[in-house]
Structure 1
Amino acid sequence: MTDAPDPEQTPAPASLDTVERAAGDPDREQPWADLGLKADEYDRIRSILGRRPTSSELAMYSVMWSEHCSYKSSKVHLRQFSEIPQETRAGRMLAGIGENAGVIDIGQGYAVTFKVESHNHPSYVEPHQGAATGIGGIVRDILAMGARPVAVMDPLRFGPLDAEDTSRVLPGIVEGVGHYGNCLGLPNIGGEAVFDPTYLGNPLVNALCVGVLRHEDLHLAKASGAGNQVILYGARTGGDGIGGVSVLASETFDADGPAKRPSVQVGDPFMEKLLIECTLELFAAGVVAGIQDLGGAGLSCATSELASAGDGGMRVDLDKVLLRDSTLAPEEILMSESQERMMAVVEPDDVAGFLAICEKWDVEAVVIGEVTETGRLEIDWHGARVVDVPPRTVAHDGPVYERPYARPDWQDGLQADAAEALPRPGSDEELKETLLRLVASPNLADKSWITDQYDRYVRGNTVLAQPSDSGMVRVDESSNLGVAVSTDCNGRYAKLDPYAGAQLALAEAYRNVATGGATPLAVSDCLNFGSPEDPAVMWQFAEACRGLKDACLALGVPVTGGNVSLYNQTGETAILPTPVVAVLGVIDDVTRRTPSGFRAADEAVVLLGETREELSGSEWAHVVHGHLGGRPPAVDLAGEQALAGLLGDLVGVVTSAHDLSDGGLAQTLAESSFRHGMGVEVRLEEVHADPFVALFAESTGRVLVTVPEEGMNELLARATAAGVPAARIGRTGGDQIVVDGRFAVGVAEARDAWSATLPAVLG
């Protein structure tokens, strides 16, 4: 334990804005607008308190009622996720929406917790630290549930690859993700890197973490038990991140960047590593009654949420908080989003043991308050009261906006402009050139320039990682129980039809988990959209939420939690609606997972699923024609469910499985060949009558598998029983990709084109 300042020795300054003073000078002008509050919100705060707020109370309400922390524009739409049964078809939820992260029972006494969140605007302002602290924050969310973090993922979105600002933000973001995760010793097992002009000036940095715990180790964020002590431990509180993500993520960027640029948080992964090990030992010692990480809104969030979720009362001596900067005012301490901090509620008899464990790990800890029965959050500064509020009004009962939304006038015209009418390759040579052009396009090209900066195999339990369809980690080394995770979203599909776009994101992630042999269990989401003050954007958001809810009901997978990121636009240009969906699945034995590349010659190549003439929103339309219009591929959730069940039944029968998505069959053939340098020869008439459609359509619910000749009959029988179309389309072997006798391209030639794109631009 580190000695805290003695408030009796340092009296409060006479100018301090105390509760008593706030009651006596109701007309004092306050900078509520500068802190992001609206006039009616400020009036509501005054009504709640029966007086004007103190400057410290104003700071707390401003950050906790920000868009980022309060979800005030999205709550009305997110509530429908509660309609989804919490019992999954293969497990049960132990904790869900409202906690730091969702927790799912996976059997054998184990549970996993996972969540995906955004750190978009900070990563534009300061790419390295913005991305690094995004990883740090999501890891602490997982830790706070009582779990050991075991893996991370990073779905990323950027402007055009060759844009000047992409060259500024992309390397820094990748470096930040890699530096922080590598220092923590956490494998990065997957993610995405997508390029589109709408993300120019507003990159998306979404971060996911997976943690593992035993059922009995589950911890929740609540402060119960009058007299229990409140302990702040970890890094000291500094001036970095004051206002931070809570304000920065709650406004629109203009052409020159954000209108306000609060200091972006600064991360220290080595401190976080100590904090992880210290916290896990505290859990094992049984000295934690409640816990909360300090992320967005810092102490304002931790104190109000813990008190609100517990018995409703807490008293804090703010001047006991250990500082890196002694000049910080109480308002700044409450708003600081300094990283690597946790808050625990500890029974009095356990305080000494708690502090001893912190000292062992060289983690500073100090008792700053206690749980009370007052129903109030009371915060003192050098003996003077600066906060006296009902904690629920800060943490949970903030504004709820039913913002107007309407289908935009341009939507009909957009959907009418179908890509199916665009000029297509006419000759076999043009088909070959199209394949080579697409595999080298930024969205489909090799992403190892990015992923090679991440340690994908540290800890020794990574089973699958990029470029596999999903990431997979072993949970138990004796039984080989494991989990698989995939994150997906095609923003072009969501622009064409946000309802279907969200379902397509879920369907792809669900399918990717199943291709490895895992059973999909649960969903976390990160809903990235433009300004909620634009009715068209709010319509997109509402439709995406409705689509995701309906798809989860159909597939039997609950939403365990997630994140909403709004105001993602530069000036009047909103990003593509980007509802990133993460799906987690369980696999009983990771040694029996299904890999994703062609491994051996003379195996049958079988396409599962049906190919239709669906080209709108496709990578072909985007790359070749710069076109976005029409309707996205049709969603068949029953077909996806049948396909996933079949893929589980085919574990041990098929030797590889790779889903078809962006780029269609052509991209899947190429990626499957690149993995081990194994060629393939295919016939397209079994796929579709039009060779171009067969190669480049992006119909969903399709997976390419390989099977030895002796397993072919069993595969076809199981596919028939599952009601999944299955067509034998070729055979592996050689060193070329041979298409229907129409053209052939060397695997090495195509791989060179695929591999060269990012290094050619990024160095």
Structure 2
Amino acid sequence: MTVHNDTVDAALETPELEQPWEELGLKEDEYEKIKGILGRRPTDAELTTYSVMWSEHCSYKSSKVHLRYFGETTTPEMASKILAGIGENAGVVDIGGGDAVTFRVESHNSPSFVEPYQGAATGIGGIVRDIMAMGARPIAVMDQLRFGPADAADTSRVLPGVVAGIGGYGNSLGLPNIGGETIFDEAYLGNPLVNALCVGTLKVEDLKLAFASGAGNKVMLFGSRTGLDGIGGVSVLGSANFEEGEERKLPAVQVGDPFAEKVLIECCLELYDAGVVVGIQDLGGGGLACATSELAAAGDGGMRVNLDNVPLRAENMTAAEILASESQERMCAIVTPENVEKFKAICDKWEVTCAEIGEVTDEPDRLLVVHNGEVVMDAPPSTIDEGPVYQRPYARPVWQDELQQYVPVERPEDLGQALKDMVSSPHLCSRDFITEQFDRYVRGNTVKAKYSDAGVLRINEETSRGVAVSADASGRYTKLDPNTGTRLALAEAYRNVAVTGARPVAVTNCLNYGSPENPDVMWQFRESVHGLADGAKELNIPVSGGNVSFYNQTGDTPILPTPVVGVLGVIEDVHDAIAHDLGTVEEKEVLILLGETFDEFGGSIWQKISGGGLNGMPPKVDLANEERLADFFVGNRDVTASHDLSEGGLAQAVVEMAFRAPGGVALDLSGVHEDEFVALFSESASRALVATTEDKVDAVLARAAEFGVPAVRIGETTEARELTFGDVTVDLDELKDAWKATLPNLFGHAVGANAVVE
């Protein structure tokens, strides 16, 4: 049966044909602009391609004007550290010695709400292919997860599936999951956030970019076959023009095959090593429509594509469906004619389906697509790739001043009970229920992952050079003050990397917000971009890339503005990575608090669990203090353990360091703050807790003074399995049991088949 396509000739003959532009997510003026570009109405395939590529997800049409600020604030010194930056599939950082690291974080929010397992699984698959497309071997993943209240019925539906999807795909790929964050808040009920991060390594000279150059070079599609799954994942194909019959009502969530992707990784690496790839692009959101138009737009010529050569796994697919399909585990490469047979041979070796689907032409800025021998697309790829640019209205919300009016938090009478309430709350309790479903040590190069502030990986087995990676965000802080909240996310990720002993070198991000058509949201977004860009400049580390996710809301109610900020650090010898737990040495350890503590509870966990709502200002942040703190840690061999202070304050840091120690801790809080409650639970920034042996105390204090870091001795380890402060004594084992029990009690009925929960 021959599929009858809407061809360019037909488009010329039927200029007034009604088309489903609105159902495909286009505005009327956008549809008119497309007609103006083409000089006629678009074909079905062209309309599909433009609608996909001009979607918010692919075009960044509402965020471009603000994202340019990153370029304005990047100094030449910062830019010199980046081999590939904003606009590429992932940022690539030169870390010295010929080694480079690529990392990126992306959102897969809506699919994970609709179908939690596949939504999260294909989120991992997509971010891994972004890393592959840079010429790198993926070496680890992380995740940033946000759900509604932990006891909400829908959270019970979504969380187990998301966690199982991340574990099922990542574990099958053989990639360690080296960290992440799980947050519960009412704002994410109905719109969870699933942000996936991947790290990869490559040699500087092996960098690959996405462009199609060299007339006569071939376009090779390889990986899984193209099917009907995933259509509508970016732009909904909801018209009879595109769907004939019930069998065309397909899920918008892609279906992943991690074993196919594992083979694809190895195949790609051998193709790179053989030197047969000129340019490469992964197929993710937008599928083949996105890959071909982006490759052509970035090249020096044009491209001709024959969809008849695309390997399919469904019958009678239209050109529009083939182009828009988001079937997973696919890549598109540009290959010189003399290397095509060698390219195919390598694919055959790995049993990876491969097909020559087109070639680069000498017609600049022309993408010609043929199906069933007929031209179904003839358009300038630059107009497809660039998309419109909107100057969305933005304004400081009228409610912002009232929100920032601080209502003093209730001081508890029983600090011991307050500690138990904090530690066992869903916001601070153990994430073992989640993390035990992930493999953290596969591949053998994970140095630190479980209970670590940042994941640490060895990337060079000869020199033991390694990297540390962390990603953080606080939607509560960011709603109170978007600029400061984003700076705090940057500060925490930077600090998490620093306390491992690594030197922070680069930033990535995933900016999750509500509708860009809401001026309140656009103000939050703009403030966050400026906070992150200015903060990175102050720290002298470049933003290597990022992702924007808009329309995260339930009805008209947006999520908390959630700028996830990732920081990459370099440690010259992973053997020098600083431990996290107390008790790693046989001697008694002394605890020293670095940084100053203030009465700061706006947006804090205590404010939330004590029923104080959300109000006030977030903690003040001075990034110069964060930089001094990092200087203190780099090369520091006098510290036996370290932990940053963030959510839950000093109390949370102490108990997390002590839970796996053989004994306990005795604290003297008099040098921290005059109010014990503030000393324990304040979330002031630029602080870390370190441990050292008695004979190194003076050296640690002297080093802190050298770098201008306030430091005070606050306690020591004890033999008794207790935590004491003032006249309060808390049994650490009882506290640990409460800390570990919360999530299993909430979600234990839905443990994934691959879970191993102690």
- Structure 1 length as normaliser, TM-score? 0.95
Conserved 8 A contact 1:231-1:344 = yes
User: Which whole-Å CA distance do the structure 2 matches of 1:128 and 1:425 have between them?
Assistant: 41
Match for residue 97 of structure 1? 86
Letter of the 2:702 counterpart = A
Residue in 2 that maps onto 1:211: 200
C-alpha contact (below 8 Å) 2:62/2:391 kept by paired residues? yes
- Give the partner amino acid of 2:731: G
**Structure 1 62/625 Cα, relative in aligned 2: closer, same or farther at 3 Å?**
same
Per the TM alignment, residue 477 of structure 1 is displaced from its structure 2 partner at its CA by: 1.0
Q: Name which of 659, 681, 692 aligns with 1:707.
A: 692
The separation in 2 between residues aligned to 1:539 and 1:573, in whole angstroms, is 15
Q: Which SS does the other structure have where 2:669 is aligned?
A: coil
SS at match of 1:676: coil
Q: Does 2:339 correspond to 1:350?
A: yes
Question: Does the residue aligned with 2:501 lie in a helix, a strand or coil?
Answer: coil
Query: Deviation of residue 216 (structure 1)?
Result: 1.0
The match for 1:424 among 395, 411, 431 is 411
Q: Are 2:55 and 2:234, in contact at CA under 8 Å, matched by a contact in 1?
A: no
Question: Which residue number in structure 1 is paired with residue 719 of structure 2?
Answer: 734
- In structure 2, how many angstroms separate the alpha carbons of the residues matched to 1:288 and 1:743? 66
Q: Take 1:448 and 1:391, find their aligned partners in 2: how far apart are those partners? A: 48
Hey, what does 1:754 align to over in structure 2?
A: 739
Counterpart CA distance in 2 for 1:444 and 1:734 is 26
Q: Which residue of 2 aligns with 1:622?
A: 608
Task: Quote the residue 2:456 is aligned against.
Answer: 472
- Displacement, 1:762? 0.5
Q: 1:676, CA displacement in angstroms?
A: 2.8
Structure 1 pair 613/689, CA: closer, same or farther in 2 (3 Å)? same
Among 649, 652, 667, the alignment partner of 1:667 is 652
Report the Cα offset of residue 543 of structure 1: 0.6
Residue pairs, 1:83-482, within 5 angstroms: 83-85=72-74, 92-246=81-235, 262-375=251-364, 376-396=366-386, 398-416=387-405, 418-419=406-407, 421-426=408-413, 430-482=414-466
For residue 241 of structure 2, what is the aligned residue in structure 1? Answer: none
Q: Say if 2:501 is the partner of 1:529.
A: no
Deviations 1:178-221 (A, max 9, x none): 00000000000000000000100111000000000001110000
- Return the offset for 1:107: 1.1
Query: C-alpha distance in 1, partners of 2:627/2:162?
Result: 36
- Distance, in Å, in 2 between the alignment partners of 1:746 and 1:461 is 36
Matches within 5 A, 1:632-711: 632-650=618-636, 652-711=637-696
Match of 1:252 in 2: none
Q: Give a deviation string over 1:382-423, Cα, whole Å, max 9, x none.
A: 211000000010012x1111111111111100101x14x122
Secondary structure of the 1:205 match is strand
**SS of 2:630's equivalent?**
helix
Q: Of residues 704, 708, 716 in structure 1, which corresponds to 2:701?
A: 716
Deviations 1:480-534 (A, max 9, x none): 1000000100110001000000000000000000000000010110000011111
Q: Secondary structure at the match of 1:625?
A: coil
Distance 2:335 2:360 in 1: 9
The answer as to 2:60 corresponding to 1:71 is: yes
**Does structure 1 retain, via aligned residues, the 8 Å contact 2:231–2:250?**
no
Aligned counterpart, 2:485: 501
Deviation at 1:741, TM superposition (A): 2.9
Q: How far 1:88 moved relative to its partner?
A: 5.7
Give per-residue Cα distances to partners, 1:659-702, cap 9 Å, x unaligned: 00000001001101013344111111110000000000000000
User: In the aligned structure 2, how far is the partner of 1:246 from the partner of 1:564?
Assistant: 16
Q: Distance in 1 between matches of 2:416 and 2:114?
A: 42
The alpha-carbon deviation at position 89 of structure 1 amounts to 6.6
Superimposed CA distance per residue, residues 260-297 of structure 1 (whole angstroms, 9 cap, x where no aligned partner) = 98521000000000100000000000000010000000
Instruction: Return the alpha-carbon distance in structure 1 between the equivalents of residues 427 and 389 of structure 2.
Output: 37
1:561 pairs with one of 526, 545, 548 = 545
Tell me by how many angstroms 1:225 deviates: 0.2
Name the stretch that deviates more: 87-96 or 441-450: 87-96
Identical positions, percent:
61
Structure-1 residue corresponding to 2:751: none
- Report if the CA contact (8 A) 1:88-1:522 is conserved: no
Residue 585 of structure 2 is aligned to residue 605 of structure 1: no
Contact 2:228 2:250 in 1 (8 A): no
Q: Distance in 2 between matches of 1:121 and 1:626?
A: 30
Q: For the residues of structure 2 that align with 1:226 and 1:531, how far apart are their CA atoms? A: 42
Q: Is the 8 A contact 2:283 2:328 kept in 1?
A: yes
Cα displacement (A) at 1:137: 0.3
Q: Does the aligned pair in 2 maintain the 1:221–1:309 contact within 8 Å?
A: yes
Farther-moved stretch of structure 1 (735-744 vs 266-275) = 735-744
Which residue number in structure 2 is paired with residue 255 of structure 1? none
Asked if 1:38 corresponds to 2:27, the answer is yes
Superposed CA deviations along residues 522-549 of structure 1, whole A, max 9, x for unmatched, are 0110000011111111111111011111
Q: Which amino acid aligns with 1:322?
A: P
Contact preservation (8 Å) 2:267, 2:346: yes
| SS of the residue 1:207 aligns to | strand
Q: Cα distance 1:467–1:247, how it changes in 2: closer, same or farther (>3 A)?
A: farther
- What letter matches 2:409 in structure 1? L
Where 1:442 maps in the other structure, the secondary structure is coil
> Quick one: distance in 1 between partners of 2:635 and 2:171?
36
Provide the rounded CA distance (Å) in 2 between the counterparts of 1:677 and 1:496. 41
Pick aligned residue for 2:502 from 518, 525, 530: 518
The AA in structure 1 aligned to 2:385 is A
Conserved? CA contact 2:214–2:301, under 8 Å:
no
Partners of 1:91 and 1:104 within 8 A in 2:
no
Give the whole-Å Cα distance in 2 for the aligned partners of 1:742 and 1:211.
50
Give the direction of change, closer, same or farther, for the CA distance of 1:113–1:243 in structure 2 (3 Å limit): same
Number of equivalences: 734
Offset of residue 222 of structure 1: 0.3
Structure 2 CA distance for partners of 1:619 and 1:247, relative to 1, 3 Å: farther
Q: Write the distance in 2 (CA, Å) between the matches of 1:261 and 1:381.
A: 22
- Stretch of structure 1 that moved more, 175-184 or 738-747: 738-747
Give the superposition deviation at 1:246: 4.8
How large is the Cα RMSD of the aligned pairs? 1.4
Aligned partners of 1:409 and 1:85: how far apart in 2? 32
- Greater shift, 76-85 or 207-216, is seen at 76-85
Specify every segment of 5 or more residues in structure 1 that has no aligned partner in the other structure, as ranges: 1-9, 249-259
Shift of 1:578: 0.3
- Map of 2:240 onto structure 1: none
Give the partner amino acid of 1:378: L
Q: Which secondary structure state, in structure 2, belongs to the residue aligned with residue 244 of structure 1?
A: coil
C-alpha separation in 2, matches of 1:218 and 1:110: 11
Q: CA deviation at 1:579?
A: 0.2
Relative to structure 1, is the Cα distance of residues 536 and 89 closer, same or farther in structure 2, using a 3 angstrom cutoff? closer
